[in-house]
Amino acid sequence: MPEFSTTRRVRHNASDMFDLVADVESYPQFVPLCNALKVRSRKETPEGVITIVADMTVAYKLIRETFRSRVTLDRANLQILVEYLDGPFSRMENRWEFHPVQDWLCDVKFFISYEFRSRMLGMLMGTMFDTAFRRFSAAFEKRADVVYGRKTA
């Protein structure tokens, strides 16, 4: 089962980075392979935890797949959990954690683990997905520079 994790120190505050990753509707604008994203539902608990169910369509050349996931946005703990619900995977889990270092600096931890349902699809898309997931955190950092401006040391 492929998995990838990384921690990146970025020149943006943890709250802004949380907001950026939580803004799933904007993913088609900058997330590698994300062709479309549709939010199916959004619910908030009294504690302020928001749960979103969304369909993401990923595309590369002639291959196009849509999968549904549940995204739990826990602002109080600066954590985001993505749980797979339906689509081309047999399983997929994705976690984000945002750790403040200074007002304008934070560590972003990204983890993903997945397995394709079809061995053939895994062979076709596996290497491409590995490459894309390795570029995810950099894509979010670059997006933060555009949205919030590039911070200098």
Structural domains of the chain in order of their starting residue, each with its CATH number: 3-148 (3.30.530.20)
Tell me the HSE value of 30 on the side-chain side, using a 13 A CA sphere.
18
Of 115, 116, 117, 98, the closest CA to residue 107 belongs to 98
Show the tokens assigned to 144.
């933060």
The tally of CA atoms less than 13 A away on the side-chain side of residue 26 is 12
Contacts 24+ apart (CB under 8 A), 83-92: 84/114, 85/53, 88/116, 88/117, 88/118, 88/121, 89/114, 89/115, 89/116, 89/117, 90/115, 90/116, 90/117, 91/1, 91/115, 92/67
pLDDT in tens, 70-104: 999 999 999 999 999 998 888 889 999 999 999 89
Q: Is the pLDDT of residue 123 over 90?
A: no
Q: How many other C-beta atoms can be found within 10 angstroms of the C-beta atom of residue 12?
A: 23
| pLDDT per position as a tens digit, 20-34 | 999 999 999 999 889
What is the chain's mean pLDDT, rounded?
Answer: 89
Flag whether pLDDT at 120 surpasses 60.
yes
More confident residue, 123 or 47: 47
H or E element that contains 133: helix 119-148
Q: CB count, 10 Å around CB of 123?
A: 10
